[in-house]
Structure 1
Amino acid sequence: MTQAVWEQGYTQNRELSWLQFNARVLAEAEDDAVPLLERLKFLSIFTSNLDEFFMIRVGSLCDMAAVDPAHIDNKSGMTAKEQLRRIYAAVEPLYVRRDTAFFDVEQRLRAEGLCRLAIADLTPGEQKYIRQYFKNIIAPVLSPQIVDAHHPFPHLEGKVLHIAALLGHKKNELLGLLPVPGSLPALVFLPEGKGRYVPIETILYEYADHVFSMYDVLEKTVFCITRNADINPDDETFGADEEDFRRRMEKLLRRRRRMAVVRVELNRPISDHFAGYFRTRFDVTNHQIFLSRVSPLKLPYAFSLGERLPEKQRAALSDPPFTPQQPAMLPAGQSLLKTALRHDVLLSYPYESMEPFLQMIREAANDPAVLSIRITIYRLASKAKLVEYLCAAAENGKDVMVLIELRARFDEQNNIDWSERLEEAGCKIIYGFEEYKVHSKICLITRRDRGGVRHITQVGTGNYNEKTAAQYTDVSLITADESIGADAGAFFTNMALGNLEGQYERLLVAPNTFKQRVLALMDEQIALGSDGYILLKFNSLTDIDVIEKLRQASCAGVKVEMIVRGICCLKPGVAGHTENISVTSIVGRFLEHSRIFVFGRGSSERMYISSADLMTRNTERRVEIACPIDSPEVRARLHDILYAMQRDTVKARVLQPDGSYRKKPAEPEPVCAQELLMRQAVQLSAQQPAAPAPAQGGLRGMLHRLFRQTEP
């Protein structure tokens, strides 16, 4: 009888793999080599990551456990209930690690003059200041409530801090609730000592006895709940007179605020009797109640606390500043639009600036020769120059079509607002498909040229988000290749017509052709046996068909190297299955986000960049694009990125056959890929105005010089 995949030992559960990723984020907060204020930021990122994990992944599993309890995960053989049990067990020690890391960071921050204080730590004068602050600022906006027969339990917003108090009154017991007002600052800084502060929930916890003064306060705690946020607009039925998809999303956002509770967090131990109130009111088990003894339940101030320090001191506790550079393939002062008509250009964020791309859209908006602009949008910054330029293009008479995805998780309202602004300016707005998110990143500019038209196509791995372009590593190709431009034009026509079955000459487009073509490219390498080679950089791997094809490649002797930042459901190095596969994860200053796929070596190599990860949701349930890379100069730039990632010994963790991760040995010298790529960007920018494309293998030269004593 054939063994199931999960019984063969080379796959692992998606959710547990993701928790391993977030543990690597937490490891950055634990690392003494990371500057102190950056460690605090990693604690905040770890916390927000975990929040979203419970809202989406745990929420989804809770739904599945109720609706389809017998369903088995195809990579671990576990039911939803079994997965939840394993998740809760894996998360609990992460809370302990976060507390330990936060305590260490906080003690070191105290030595720098940034002191989080309890009321008992304050001087008499400071206690008087807090009393007055409570009386004059906090008390007027409080909304306390008791819960008894005449006062029903209120609806509580997810991820909002509350004080819960167990109250006694005339031999009766009841619950008191005190929401922490969102209108007030998270921290109250004391007048003496610029860096001395008290969190607002600490003040409310202290004064809860005063608020509920007519009762005996038997126990109290700070808590917050996490609600299931795994909503799917396609699961909802709406009347035929429903206005449009935008209105539907607004309704679903209101619904999200009232979904089931999947986690309760407390900031101090409480009695089992008091915990019973939480179990009953929120319908949770003890396994869903998590204790954070030291670290705050929310860390909204992590990215701004350093502003309380003098500039020189803040700089010493932070990463060295880095400014995205002038792109190496675009000489300073030259138009990206006109340069791309001569040769392909690659932009590499955040090492290079996104500004030339934005200026290309601005130039197109004002260029009389430009006929139309087409673009897909998944996530935008809250302030977006891109929207201004697209609106200007429409107002200047250009034909502007924007496919905006309203279901970008937690950016739904922002995208709704931007869609209305674009529509008001005269842009044509489409929203994609009922059952498929449009996650592709593509822009097409059509321009009159000598009696005909030319297309300038941009295809990227990341969003058109001006904020994250300085924080996420992504690549963006701008090309005037007519075969790619023709495919891009066909793509936008198909999107407007609701056609997912379109055929394309060069672009790989999910859900129709992307997956089958990637598998076919792997088959070509499998046919070469030990001469085959696959090098993949992406964010997550869950697609069981891709996993199986990679296993086949390994068994055929193909060398497979993968740089996978997050989830990896394939375990490398498993005898008889994945011996020829290696998996490395890099978590560092920037979020690794680019997707680069390489099949083969030398003259037979095929290279693509893509918006898609190798997850089932990307390969089968999203509209994604992968674009071939033809230019030798662009290939060289992408190989520099891959080369740096492969040789990182500072931030790289290597996935082991048992599913754990280990650091690489830092020999002969420690190498940090992101630092190396920052140095390269600065050097190439300093060479401007040089040749528009950098010399091939430039980064290899930097590393060879660094290792010239030990590397040939």
Structure 2
Amino acid sequence: MTVAKLHEDFSYTQDRELSWLRFNERVLEESRDPEVPLYERLKFVSIFTSNLDEFFMIRVGSLFDMALLKEEHIDNKTGLTPKEQLSNIFKAVPALCKQKDKSFAEIEERLRQHDISNLSIKELESSEKKYIEKYWKTYILPILSPQVVDSHHPFPHLENKALYIAVMLKDKGGETYGIIPVPTSLPKVIFLPGSSVRYVLTEQVVLEYAAQVFDMYDLTNKTIISITRNADISPEDDSFEVDDDFRLRMRKVLKKRARLAPVRMEIQGEADQKLIDYFCERLGLRKEQVFLSKSPLGMGYIFALQDKFPQTTLSRITYPPFEPQPSRSLNREESVTSQVLRHDILLFYPYEQMDPFLQLIRESASDPNVLSIKITIYRLASQAKLIEYLAQAAENNKDVTVLMELRARFDEENNINWSERLEEAGCQVIYGFEGFKVHSKICLITRRDKGDIQYITQVGTGNYNEKTAKLYTDLSLMTANQEIGNDAAIFFKNMAIANLEGSYRQLLVAPHAMKNVLLDCIDEEIVKAKAGQPAKIVLKMNSITERLLIDKLAEASQAGVEIHMIVRGICCIVPHVPEKTDNIDITSIVGRFLEHPRIYIFGAGDDPKIYIGSADMMTRNTDRRVEIACPVLSPQVKQRIFHILDVMLRDNVKARVLQSDGRYLKKQVAPGEALINSQEYFIAVAKEMAAKQPAPVPVKKKKRVLGRFFRMLAEKFE
């Protein structure tokens, strides 16, 4: 192990990669929870698998890149080199994969009790086997592109995360190898005729009949494989002409991603060691980069299965249905704009609908008092009302500026397409900065009211993604505070002129100032604690890796500041280390919804500083991204955030407590103590509050038509 040349204290920090793997183990733990409905448990296995895929593509890929550099990189939380970190990863992952295989097998077995069966070819009834044979000959065999590998047939490029059948072959000339790509144009699942949900995975069919493809050979071994490639690329890694179109550049980058170096080979089923060695040699992989699996290598199909489930079965094996509810803070009979102008409004997704924010944009698109709409966009759904409303605003001669981040990993293609749609509608689209992703979530509406400029600002902790707003927990603040609006106007001006070092009165903006302000806020609590005054910090985020902030929190703990942290994923600071982090407790909540808000609270009194925003306490967020945190100034909104965090800190069902050795343990529940599942609590409250609200009075159709008619007349004679 490397002797670190750094001066950091490693006694209260841990490796970010191993911390992330422990988080993903928490995801897998949900698949074993008997209180979680059976099909939802299967989804958690799929989520674990896709999480691990991305981990290898990004984090493992990045470590391999760093290991190639001449200048040795030493991790500032562990003192380890990239090679040592990779070694630890390769030791930790196989045990997780075995847990995954065990969970998958147990869940699949229990699903059969509900007439839902993922079958092997050997399990098929005779009529079903005939159906599969016909399907093979009619739909699969004609579109296959098999290949032997020899002097005239060079080893092909294996696409990232695609499925292949790898085979060993023999003929008179000796031994050779072959590959059959499983066509992506085929459905992932072949459903069998009948009333029960019985199906076969397509790759299992290709595997079964592989010998028919290579019928002139003796097939001696066959298996399913998948290659994971490094996907940690950045447009800045390549040299481009200054006047290159940035969208074109990103399209080139996306094509390159599929051809980057392999970092992992997965094998499902039995495989001859000679076959494994051959593929490792061809792909430049070491034996520790090969992972054996008894469960499918791609599990994206799982989420589509429920379309085949009978309703009676669905209700037994899934969460009770829940749709986001109307906001408790809004009167549904009044425009959102007029209400925001009177008081701040906080939306809490997915318990409350995203609709009020979308309605605000829709109202602004046709409001004659609105001059402009400016917004930053990082991720969007494949279908987005937001784009429709922004386009309407531009078509109504509003000044619409969209700062579209084309480098949102794995959403690049979607964002490129949306940027083109916005430009076609007349919006001004800009793309941010070289070397800095724009990850902030902010929207500014500028109005003119009686000759005065008036701002409405929205700042969120999550993306403007109408799909994930039903799956992720997030906060969205809408305010007419003019100081915040002035800052937002300055922010968008700075983005347009490529100024990363602007000054702001209310907003915390990275990379220039956010980290320093957060450090100052922690320092203020340290001063209070040393003076014998109450001092407290409450933090909620996805991850914490930034060393300066970690050290400052440890310093605060040593000074006696009470620190509570809710960290969903990577947590490089460990609590309860004697004389280092004694006063820090850290929990992680994994449940039905993905926990996503970033909330920072400093102060023990009735009126502490509260910020919500887009940034985690990670170096990438504070130093290499454009992020925004917004102060919460409304007493009512502050009280609501206090309540939200209080419920989460009292969660004793889904919360796990981080130990000083990096493990997560369930909270001990005392006899008679009430069980609190924070997410279920918020669902129940949202339903209760919505039920208390009067339903909106329906507008008669005739009035709507007349209103539209007079608007058309007004537009005609303007």
Q: Tell me the TM-score range normalised by the shorter chain.
A: over 0.9
Separation in 2, partners of 1:265, 1:574: 38
Separation in 2, partners of 1:681, 1:133: 48
Q: Any conservation in 2 of the 1:384–1:466 contact (CA below 8 Å)?
A: yes
Tell me which residue corresponds to 2:240: 238
Q: Any conservation in 2 of the 1:5–1:11 contact (CA below 8 Å)?
A: no
| 1:6-17 → structure 2 map (5 Å cutoff) | 8-17=10-19
Residues 276 and 344 (structure 1), Cα distance of their counterparts in 2 relative to 1, 3 Å cut: same
Residue 534 of structure 1 is aligned with which of 533, 537, 557? 537
Tell me which residue corresponds to 2:254: 253
Residues 192 and 604 (structure 1), Cα distance of their counterparts in 2 relative to 1, 3 Å cut: closer
Residues 125 and 280 (structure 1), Cα distance of their counterparts in 2 relative to 1, 3 Å cut: same
Tell me which residue corresponds to 1:706: none
Secondary structure class of the residue paired with 1:520: helix
Tell me which residue corresponds to 2:66: 64
Question: 1:68 deviation in Å?
Answer: 4.1
Residue 686 of structure 2 is aligned with which of 675, 681, 686? 681
Q: Any conservation in 1 of the 2:5–2:79 contact (CA below 8 Å)?
A: no
| 1:166-245 → structure 2 map (5 Å cutoff) | 166-242=168-244, 244-245=245-246
| 1:492-507 → structure 2 map (5 Å cutoff) | 492-507=492-507
Separation in 2, partners of 1:291, 1:638: 45
Q: Any conservation in 1 of the 2:10–2:78 contact (CA below 8 Å)?
A: no
Q: Any conservation in 1 of the 2:192–2:199 contact (CA below 8 Å)?
A: yes
Secondary structure class of the residue paired with 1:666: coil
Is 1:561 the counterpart of 2:564? The answer is yes
In the TM superposition, what whole-angstrom CA distance separates every residue of 1:622-641 from its partner, at most 9, and x where no partner exists? 00001001111101111121
Secondary structure class of the residue paired with 1:527: helix
Q: Any conservation in 2 of the 1:6–1:12 contact (CA below 8 Å)?
A: no
Question: 1:601 deviation in Å?
Answer: 2.1
Separation in 2, partners of 1:238, 1:435: 13
Question: 1:644 deviation in Å?
Answer: 1.1
Kindly provide the amino acid, as one letter, of the partner of residue 633 in structure 2. D
| 1:688-703 → structure 2 map (5 Å cutoff) | 688-689=693-694
Q: Any conservation in 2 of the 1:526–1:556 contact (CA below 8 Å)?
A: yes
Separation in 2, partners of 1:232, 1:310: 45
In the TM superposition, what whole-angstrom CA distance separates every residue of 1:492-551 from its partner, at most 9, and x where no partner exists? 000000000100010000001100000000000000116210000011000000000000
Q: Any conservation in 1 of the 2:10–2:77 contact (CA below 8 Å)?
A: no
| 1:24-423 → structure 2 map (5 Å cutoff) | 24-68=26-70, 70-242=72-244, 244-293=245-294, 295-423=295-423
Separation in 2, partners of 1:348, 1:221: 47
Secondary structure class of the residue paired with 1:626: strand
Separation in 2, partners of 1:106, 1:606: 49
| 1:651-666 → structure 2 map (5 Å cutoff) | 651-666=654-669
Q: Any conservation in 2 of the 1:69–1:79 contact (CA below 8 Å)?
A: no
Secondary structure class of the residue paired with 2:158: coil
Tell me which residue corresponds to 1:696: none
| 1:416-455 → structure 2 map (5 Å cutoff) | 416-455=416-455
Separation in 2, partners of 1:241, 1:503: 29
> What residue ranges of structure 1 are gaps of 5+ in the alignment?
691-712
Question: 1:2 deviation in Å?
Answer: 12
Kindly provide the amino acid, as one letter, of the partner of residue 26 in structure 1. L
Secondary structure class of the residue paired with 1:264: strand
Question: 1:412 deviation in Å?
Answer: 0.4
| 1:517-596 → structure 2 map (5 Å cutoff) | 517-529=517-529, 531-596=534-599
Kindly provide the amino acid, as one letter, of the partner of residue 478 in structure 1. M
Residues 219 and 6 (structure 1), Cα distance of their counterparts in 2 relative to 1, 3 Å cut: farther
Separation in 2, partners of 1:194, 1:394: 52
Question: 1:175 deviation in Å?
Answer: 1.2
Secondary structure class of the residue paired with 1:301: helix
Question: 1:234 deviation in Å?
Answer: 1.0
Secondary structure class of the residue paired with 1:220: strand
Separation in 2, partners of 1:301, 1:233: 31
Kindly provide the amino acid, as one letter, of the partner of residue 610 in structure 1. G
Tell me which residue corresponds to 2:622: 619
Separation in 2, partners of 1:658, 1:119: 45
Normalised to the residue count of structure 1, the TM-score between the two structures is 0.95
Kindly provide the amino acid, as one letter, of the partner of residue 687 in structure 2. V
Question: 1:604 deviation in Å?
Answer: 4.2
Secondary structure class of the residue paired with 2:301: coil
Question: 1:365 deviation in Å?
Answer: 0.5
Cα RMSD after superposing both structures: 1.4
Question: 1:194 deviation in Å?
Answer: 3.4
Separation in 2, partners of 1:77, 1:426: 52
Q: Any conservation in 1 of the 2:345–2:477 contact (CA below 8 Å)?
A: yes
Secondary structure class of the residue paired with 2:302: coil
In the TM superposition, what whole-angstrom CA distance separates every residue of 1:98-131 from its partner, at most 9, and x where no partner exists? 0000011000111100111111111111111111
Residues 121 and 603 (structure 1), Cα distance of their counterparts in 2 relative to 1, 3 Å cut: closer
Separation in 1, partners of 2:12, 2:502: 35
Normalised to the residue count of structure 2, the TM-score between the two structures is 0.94
In the TM superposition, what whole-angstrom CA distance separates every residue of 1:299-325 from its partner, at most 9, and x where no partner exists? 122112122221122011101111111
Kindly provide the amino acid, as one letter, of the partner of residue 117 in structure 1. L
Kindly provide the amino acid, as one letter, of the partner of residue 412 in structure 2. E
Kindly provide the amino acid, as one letter, of the partner of residue 658 in structure 2. L
Separation in 2, partners of 1:500, 1:283: 42
In the TM superposition, what whole-angstrom CA distance separates every residue of 1:398-446 from its partner, at most 9, and x where no partner exists? 0000000000000000000000000111000000000100000000001
Separation in 2, partners of 1:599, 1:419: 38
Question: 1:610 deviation in Å?
Answer: 1.1
Separation in 1, partners of 2:247, 2:472: 28
Question: 1:666 deviation in Å?
Answer: 3.0
Q: Any conservation in 1 of the 2:4–2:74 contact (CA below 8 Å)?
A: no
Q: When the two structures are aligned, how many residues end up with a matched partner?
A: 688
Secondary structure class of the residue paired with 1:459: strand
Identity of matched residues, %: 56
Is 1:639 the counterpart of 2:642? The answer is yes
Question: 1:686 deviation in Å?
Answer: 2.0
Question: 1:670 deviation in Å?
Answer: 1.3
Question: 1:273 deviation in Å?
Answer: 1.2
Q: Any conservation in 2 of the 1:119–1:206 contact (CA below 8 Å)?
A: yes
Secondary structure class of the residue paired with 2:351: coil
Tell me which residue corresponds to 2:653: 650
Tell me which residue corresponds to 1:509: 509
Separation in 1, partners of 2:10, 2:155: 50
Secondary structure class of the residue paired with 1:304: helix
Kindly provide the amino acid, as one letter, of the partner of residue 480 in structure 1. A
Separation in 1, partners of 2:130, 2:653: 49
Secondary structure class of the residue paired with 1:30: coil
Q: Any conservation in 2 of the 1:234–1:435 contact (CA below 8 Å)?
A: yes
Q: Any conservation in 2 of the 1:69–1:80 contact (CA below 8 Å)?
A: no
Kindly provide the amino acid, as one letter, of the partner of residue 606 in structure 1. K
In the TM superposition, what whole-angstrom CA distance separates every residue of 1:655-706 from its partner, at most 9, and x where no partner exists? 000111100123302110001111111122222259xxxxxxxxxxxxxxxx
Kindly provide the amino acid, as one letter, of the partner of residue 306 in structure 2. G
Kindly provide the amino acid, as one letter, of the partner of residue 43 in structure 2. K
Q: Any conservation in 2 of the 1:587–1:652 contact (CA below 8 Å)?
A: yes
Secondary structure class of the residue paired with 1:330: coil
Residues 646 and 389 (structure 1), Cα distance of their counterparts in 2 relative to 1, 3 Å cut: same
Kindly provide the amino acid, as one letter, of the partner of residue 36 in structure 1. L
Q: Any conservation in 2 of the 1:194–1:308 contact (CA below 8 Å)?
A: no
Tell me which moved more, 634-643 or 569-578. 634-643
Residues 673 and 5 (structure 1), Cα distance of their counterparts in 2 relative to 1, 3 Å cut: farther
> What residue ranges of structure 2 are gaps of 5+ in the alignment?
696-718
Question: 1:6 deviation in Å?
Answer: 5.7
